[in-house]
Chains A and B, each alone.
Chain A
Amino acid sequence: MQLAAIAEALSLSPDHGSFKDIEVKGGYSSDLLSDVMGKAAAKSIWVTNQIHPNVIAVASLIDAAAVIIAGGVQPEEGTLKKAEEVGIPLFTTDLPAFEVVGQLYQLGVRGTARSA
């Protein structure tokens, strides 16, 4: 599924500039960054409540398609800056993580995980 279509369906606008439309291969949700580093597959859309700049570093490391910060929390300034720097599309939404994941699933996005 294309990232632009997901953004439109969930009424998400990026927290910085624009984003390059890419194919989203699946989804992952976790707030333990160590877990995401170890398990999330490339080109996943990652749903989290963490707002620390390390989120972007980890997203970049796993080659995430995008990050959605759920639950109406605002990312730290460093997180926004870093997202812009490394070109990771970063979205925030007031929807709780459960809702975001549910809506993604309805759109056909399925959970992905690398086998350990």
Chain B
Amino acid sequence: MAQLEGLSLIAITDHNTAANVGAVMQVGDQLGLPVLPGMEVQTREEVHLLGIFPSLEAVLAFEQLIWQHLPKVANQPQIFGEQIVYDSADRQKGSIERLLLQSVTLGVEEVGKAITAHGGVTIAAHVNRRSYGLLGQLGFVPETLKLDAVEIDRYFSYERFMDEHQSLGRYPVLRNSDAHQLIDLVDSHSSVVLIEEPSFLALRELLLSGDVGRIRLR
């Protein structure tokens, strides 16, 4: 679907899990579509932070660490839905028993540090939203949090965002589709980034360069 939409780089960032990343990377390999491994962690403050990593190994190591701080609460499928793990042929491999829709017991700085320690980039997810966004939960970016970028969702205009949050001008601003289903995976919901090649290293180089002229939101 991503390929049909003409996307040239996607990231898989499930909530508190990386269980489906490997399968999607395999499919991406077969189709020639680069897939970046990632995770969306819900911190103690109910802030959603995205970690995008250089390799599958890195995201799995990060996931292992996060899971040490994910309370052992069982999922209730009738309320939260099944937490299904698929293989690269779209067959159900199993499901995750522990509830993923909850906060880990680590704060934003701890999660940010762990992402960095695993070689990843840290992006504050959907910061324009009242709930689960860094600004909504914590009011402003804590001085001690190292952020590589902030993300606004597809419903929010960049101009309005910059107008309301001038202090965030120092971070690269991305817009991602945050697609939870295939129908949301729309080309125009994502940012255009001018990078050497569609890879993690090139994306990281862009975010660290602070050269925001190379990011275009539509």
Contacts and interface: CB of A to CB of B under 8 A. Distances in A.
Label chain A's interface by main secondary structure.
helix
B45 A52 contact: yes
B137 interface: yes
A34 B135 contact: yes
A76 B130 CA distance: 23
A92 interface: no
Contact of A32 (B44, B107, B130): B130
A33 B142 contact: no
Interface centre among A31, A32, A53 (most CB of B within 10 A): A32
A50 B130 contact: no
Nearest to B141: A54
Interface residues of B, number: 15
A57 B144 CA distance: 13
A4 interface: no
B130 to A, nearest CB: 7
A37 interface: yes
Contacts of A31: 46, 137
B140 interface: yes
A34 B107 contact: no
Given A52-B108, A76-B107, A32 B142 contact: no
* Residues of A in contact with B, size category: 10 to 19
Contacts of B138: 33-34, 50, 52, 54
Contacts of B44: 51-52
A104 interface: no
Contacts of A54: 138-140, 142
Interface centre among A31, A33, A51 (most CB of B within 10 A): A33
A3 interface: no
A78 B143 CA distance: 12
Contacts of B45: 50, 52
Given A52-B45, A78-B144, A36 B139 contact: yes
Contacts of B107: 52, 76
A32 B140 contact: no
User: Shortest 5 CB-CB distances between A and B: which pairs?
Assistant: A33-B139, A54-B138, A34-B136, A37-B139, A34-B139
Given A37-B139, A50-B137, A51-B44, 19 more contacts: A31-B46, A32-B130, A32-B136, A32-B137, A33-B136, A33-B139, A34-B136, A34-B138, A34-B139, A35-B136, A36-B139, A50-B138, A52-B142, A54-B138, A54-B142, A57-B139, A57-B140, A58-B139, A76-B107
Interface of A: 31-37, 50-54, 57-58, 76, 78
5 contacts: A32-B131, A33-B137, A34-B137, A53-B142, A53-B144
